[in-house]
Structure 1
Amino acid sequence: MNKFIYTALLLCTIFACKSKAKEGEIAAEEKIRIHGDTIILNKEQIRNADIQLSFPGEQNLRQTLQASGLVDVPPQSLVSVSAPMGGYLKSTRLMQGMRVARGQVIAVLEDPSYVQLQEDYLSARAKMQYAKADMERQKDLRESNATSTKSYQLALSEYNQLQVQIQSLAEKLRIINIRPESVSLNNITRRVNIYAPISGFVSKVNVNIGKYVNASEVMFELTDPNDLHAAINIFEKDIMRFKPGMKGTVWVSNDPDKKYPVSVLLVSKNLNDNRSAVVYCQFLNASQNLIPGMFLNAEFDVLNYQSKAVPEHAVVHFEGNDYVFVANNDSTFVMTGVQTGAAADGFVSLKTDSLFNKRIVINGAFNLLGAMKGGEEE
């Protein structure tokens, strides 16, 4: 403010006449007195300037930030179920939203390739019996010099190759959920079961009865609801205020009365095209009604602590610095530099602890500044 604005403020507040003096005259006792950073007022001037005093008080400074995001799940809690080998879907009862338990049969596939795999396994085992016997016979003959070392080595190689083949076929059977030890001449099946790899609920069903399912095709998607998290988008200017462990609340748009407390798990280290980053939050008591992809509103306490504070209008700004007026007595006020902290809910924290036990002008500080800088020093 320039001197003229301060003078106008001074005339409107401080120099209001207290009596019926002649027009254009101001009683001598109504003039303010200024000594450096000190201003002295009489009772009439204090009343006209609406001066109020108070000690800095303990305040809970709370500042919130609003944001939005989605219900999300980490990769390990969202499972795509496929068939390791292609086949026709013979049966399934899954519907979207249905709950499943880990190890539960969720589909049955049928295909001739399953039969062929079991046949190859049984054939390899049968050949193994002969290969083992031949290898042992060639070994005995070599030791008695009745055959060449080469014949023994060929028999041993055939035996080893069959071992590898049997082990490989057994693993293929396990992949399609057939136990190799259960396969026999009288127990060959054309069907295989698909089991739920996790407990949770069905989020997608992409197949129907009779459809041929390729090995690369996703049949179902299962979600573990116990590991849901909130993915909240925070703009670049606010991202530095978020740390792991920070608390907040989220709610679904169509049910704003139901609040879910969350805790920050991870702050993304890259910005999106809209100059925002994702903050991943853990639900502290997630509801089974939450579904991945649901839109969320969020609120976080970016500032929440106890501090000595005064009302914001008790602090005045002049030439780039902050000041408060400290009362030496009921009529003398000293303009004093102050260090301030965070501001919230109409209060600003004080970092200058020497002022904690001082009476401070909490109302009328701008009037005093106007009077001091618009008047003349005595």
Structure 2
Amino acid sequence: MKTKIYLVFIMAITLLSCNSEKKENQEIEEHEKQGIEGVVILNANQLKALDLKLGAFQMRNLTTTVKSNGQLEVPPENSADVTAIIGGNVKTINVFHGDKVIKGQQLATLEHPDYIALQEDFAEISSKLEFLTEEYKRQKELFDNNVGSGRDYQKTKSEYNTVKAKYEGLKSRLQLLNLSPQKVEKGEISNTVSIKSPINGFINEVNIKIGTYVDAKDILFEITNNDAIHADFMVYEQDVHRIKEGQKVHFNVANRPEEELTATIFAIGKEFEENSRAVHIHARINEKTSDLIPGMYISGHIHTDKNYTRTLPNDAIVNEGTKSFVFVLDNKALETAKHESKVDEKDNELTEMAFRMVEVITGLKEEGYTEVRLVDSLPNNSEIVLNAAYYLLADMNKGETGEE
């Protein structure tokens, strides 16, 4: 009986010793994984979930700005209403709403008996002109040699000039209808005319259907060339004196509030809108964008001087106590964490990117950006976390709390 009790006692002590040693090893391993003070390490899954954005400081003017709203517009020469020169019935439609077209591209074809009659008139007058040209040359030669009658020469000359003028007029009308005068003179008569695009751009409106009769004044298509799109702001009377050509504008488009664009003022209106007492300010967009559409609502702020300061988005800055911080990509800290950790990277791929918390002093705030001044200098190529900084701070504090 004593032997059994002794064996049970020995087993219990052994079990307690193993558990204690295992717990101690776990604590040591957890301590090794905590990393370096003031540094947070994110794995690939965390980076993907946060959609972390890295970038540099942005130089912005937060002191002397004029806020303004407006919309995107295109210059008059980059917008076109396509009409028919002569009325006709729609035979074919070759484009659809939203299609990209180039100058001279066929948009539709029209047919009508008047087109045939016009070509017949031109063919007839062309033949008549050919005859009168030879007759005019002959009468002129006779007159110059004092052989022919002056009256016959004047009559032939008058008929020749009249027919030639009519020939040129009909020829121009054919060219306006995109018909070839040379083909008509050869007897090739077309019963249709082509409607072609006068500019490069996109089809905004298609106002016809097959078989519809369209008159010369009807608008068949509306085309806009968005390559020349610009920002059209409205500035009120009390701020107009502060606006000059060449000033920079930061603005957002209504359907893309998270993306900021820039533009440069190239023209200032010279008269006020009657109701709003505001003038139009036209600014050329600096970025190359393909999805901006005329009429989109925009809001921005115009920098009226060049007092630029270092700034970051508000989401890049966190506060802890009375101090402010940002997070900077720190590859050296990542290497240090890997070196100190006893875990094999092949078995545990926890470390992907390391970010070091850096103290800054904040200043003015405007339009989602904050002025920052560095307590300690950073390399010029430093990559700074531009969003989700609060998550990085929480993740780092969670690690420190767990260690304690």
TM-score by structure 1 length?
0.62
Q: Secondary structure at the match of 1:256?
A: strand
Select 1:283's aligned residue among 264, 282, 285.
285
Q: Which residue in 1 is equivalent to 2:236?
A: 235
CA displacement at 1:130 relative to structure 2: 2.7
Partner Cα separation in structure 2 for residue 252 and residue 141 of structure 1: 78
Shift in CA distance, 243/157, structure 1 to aligned 2, threshold 3 Å: same
Q: Secondary structure at the match of 1:215?
A: coil
Cα pair 1:72 1:231 within 8 Å, conserved: yes
Partner Cα separation in structure 2 for residue 245 and residue 218 of structure 1: 38
Cα pair 2:126 2:185 within 8 Å, conserved: no
Partner Cα separation in structure 1 for residue 73 and residue 133 of structure 2: 56
Q: Which residue in 1 is equivalent to 2:176?
A: 175
Aligned identity (percent) is: 31
Aligned residue type for 1:209: I
Cα pair 2:123 2:187 within 8 Å, conserved: no
Q: Which residue in 1 is equivalent to 2:348?
A: none
CA displacement at 1:345 relative to structure 2: 3.6
Is 1:299 the equivalent of 2:297?
A: no
Q: Which residue in 1 is equivalent to 2:205?
A: 204
CA displacement at 1:100 relative to structure 2: 0.8
Q: Which residue in 1 is equivalent to 2:81?
A: 80
Cα pair 2:66 2:303 within 8 Å, conserved: yes
CA displacement at 1:288 relative to structure 2: 1.7
Partner Cα separation in structure 1 for residue 277 and residue 133 of structure 2: 69
Is 1:193 the equivalent of 2:194?
A: yes
Shift in CA distance, 304/90, structure 1 to aligned 2, threshold 3 Å: same
Shift in CA distance, 126/186, structure 1 to aligned 2, threshold 3 Å: closer
Unaligned runs of 5+ in 2: 1-60, 310-362, 366-404
Map 1:306-325 → 2, pairs under 5 A: none
Aligned residue type for 1:290: L
Cα deviation, 1:135-180, whole Å, max 9, x if unaligned, reads: 3444455567665321221112111211111111111111111121
Q: Which residue in 2 is equivalent to 1:114?
A: 115
Cα pair 1:81 1:221 within 8 Å, conserved: yes
CA displacement at 1:64 relative to structure 2: 3.1
**Equivalenced residues, count:** 252
Cα deviation, 1:215-261, whole Å, max 9, x if unaligned, reads: 11111111111110111111111111111111112222132012221
Q: In terms of mean alpha carbon deviation, does 295-304 or 246-255 score higher?
A: 295-304
Unaligned runs of 5+ in 1: 1-59, 308-343, 347-378
Partner Cα separation in structure 1 for residue 98 and residue 220 of structure 2: 15
Cα pair 1:115 1:190 within 8 Å, conserved: yes
Q: Secondary structure at the match of 2:71?
A: strand
CA displacement at 1:129 relative to structure 2: 2.9
Partner Cα separation in structure 2 for residue 299 and residue 221 of structure 1: 32
Cα deviation, 1:334-353, whole Å, max 9, x if unaligned, reads: xxxxxxxxxx949xxxxxxx
Cα deviation, 1:268-310, whole Å, max 9, x if unaligned, reads: 1111121111111111114221111111111222344279xxx
Q: Secondary structure at the match of 2:161?
A: helix
CA displacement at 1:189 relative to structure 2: 0.3
Partner Cα separation in structure 1 for residue 305 and residue 141 of structure 2: 86
Partner Cα separation in structure 1 for residue 241 and residue 141 of structure 2: 78
Is 1:254 the equivalent of 2:278?
A: no
Partner Cα separation in structure 1 for residue 110 and residue 263 of structure 2: 42
Q: Which residue in 1 is equivalent to 2:218?
A: 217
